[in-house]
Amino acid sequence: MRIIVYGVGAIGGVLAGALARSGAEVIGIARGRMLEAVQQKGLRLMSPDLDEVIRVPMVGSPSEIDFRPDDAILLCMKTQDTQPALEALRMAGVTDQPVFCTQNGVANEPMALRFFPNVHGMTVMLPGTYLTPGEVVSHCTPKLGMFDIGRFPYGKDAADDALVDALWKAGFAAFVKPDVMASKYGKLLLNLGNISGAAFGSAAPDGDLRKAAQREARTVYEAAGITFADVSNADERRDAYIRVAEVPGAPAMSNSTLQSFQRGNSVETDFLNGEICYLGRLHGVKTPVNDALMALAVRMLRERIEPGALDLQATLHESGLA
């Protein structure tokens, strides 16, 4: 299996670097300053246990790849960037190769299935950072990250087994899960706090707000008949494989939405909290907390508010959530 990592940022960078380091056949697709930096200097991969510069073959577009039947494509861009990426893959000749949605949320798999027949979900449990072009960080040990993997909408096949095998060899923990979407709905609950972390800072005492957003999501899941797996700290695999530890010389751990704001990019909130609002609207459940968190993202983008600059209590009062 050759592995095409599409979107080399925090997650794609750690995956491409570690897979290349393990001897797997890998091609990364990157853009902008990340592409330039990796082509010039290689990719610096840092973790609590590792600090290495790795040579990873890197191109700027799928059109530069001669796709093969044994390719597996890992989508590692944020959800708002997925549709143009799928279009570019199709124009480059991808047909029925497995496409793995290595992303948060649950919107990428149905989107990919409109383009390609062979779609797989991946739950990403890998606190990663990309702030400096050419450098990526995994904040966990003893493994670089952990994944649940299975076919969308349900099932497993040989491609799941082959990818899981390659990931273990590259220093990750990975598990085939025929019901991967239950794992992804469970992970989505953990991402409902990404935007409050971005607004109020990683250390803000916003636990009650996060819990309220999650309670609302569980009510919506119940109304929609969606089952989910608990992949929070209650999942014992976290303690065995992905304990967070200091990475000397690296930026402090932060969530992926906060990093998007720091890099001046668009954010994924429409597909995280927005998924709960969408399901609530479909199933007649009000979602005031997630609506307010969506509005918070819009306000930050519109008013160009720096991450961590908002006051939690004042914002709760203004949005009627206090």
Ligand X SMILES: NC(=O)C1=CN([C@@H]2O[C@H](COP(=O)(O)OP(=O)(O)OC[C@H]3O[C@@H](n4cnc5c(N)ncnc54)[C@H](OP(=O)(O)O)[C@@H]3O)[C@@H](O)[C@H]2O)C=CC1
In the region spanning residues 156 to 185, those forming contacts with ligand X, defined by CB under 6 A, are none
Count the neighbouring beta carbons within 10 Å of the beta carbon of residue 304: 8
What length does the chain have?
322
- Residue 25: which residues within 8 A CB-CB, separation 6 or more? 1, 2, 3
CA 87/CA 115 separation, integer angstroms: 8
Cβ-based nearer residue to ligand X, 10 or 279: 10
Cβ-based nearer residue to ligand KPL, 105 or 134: 105
The answer to whether 127 and 254 have CB atoms below 8 angstroms apart is: no
Q: Which of 4, 20, 27, 76 binds ligand X (CB under 6 A)?
A: 76
Q: Which of 256, 269, 273, 315 binds ligand X (CB under 6 A)?
A: 256
Scan for tokens 């907390």, then name that residue. 289
Give φ, ψ of 312 to 5 degrees.
-60, -55
DSSP secondary structure letter of residue 81: G
Site string for ligand KPL, 184-223 (x = CB under 6 A): ------xx--x-----------------------------
What is the secondary structure of 204-242 as a DSSP string?
---HHHHHHHHHHHHHHHHHHT------STTSHHHHHHE
Q: Answer with the entry of ligand X, ligand KPL, none that 190 interacts with (C-beta below 5 to 8 A by kind).
A: ligand KPL
Q: Which of 3, 15, 24, 34 binds ligand X (CB under 6 A)?
A: 34
Scan for tokens 């273990």, then name that residue. 168
In whole angstroms, the minimum distance from the beta carbon of 191 to ligand KPL comes to 5
CA 76/CA 18 separation, integer angstroms: 15
Question: Judged by CB under 6 A, does residue 47 bind ligand KPL?
Answer: no
In the region spanning residues 258 to 317, those forming contacts with ligand X, defined by CB under 6 A, are 265, 268
CA 175/CA 272 separation, integer angstroms: 23
In whole angstroms, the minimum distance from the beta carbon of 76 to ligand X comes to 5
Q: How many residues bind ligand X (CB under 6 A)?
A: 28
In whole angstroms, the minimum distance from the beta carbon of 160 to ligand X comes to 18
Cβ-based nearer residue to ligand KPL, 94 or 250: 250
Side chain identity at residue 175, one-letter code? F
The two structure tokens encoding residue 239: 């303690």
Cβ-based nearer residue to ligand X, 20 or 285: 20
Q: Which of 3, 4, 5, 7 binds ligand X (CB under 6 A)?
A: 7
Q: Which of 3, 4, 5, 10 binds ligand X (CB under 6 A)?
A: 10
In the region spanning residues 233 to 262, those forming contacts with ligand KPL, defined by CB under 6 A, are 255-256
* Site of interaction with ligand KPL (CB under 6 A): 104, 127, 190-191, 194, 255-256
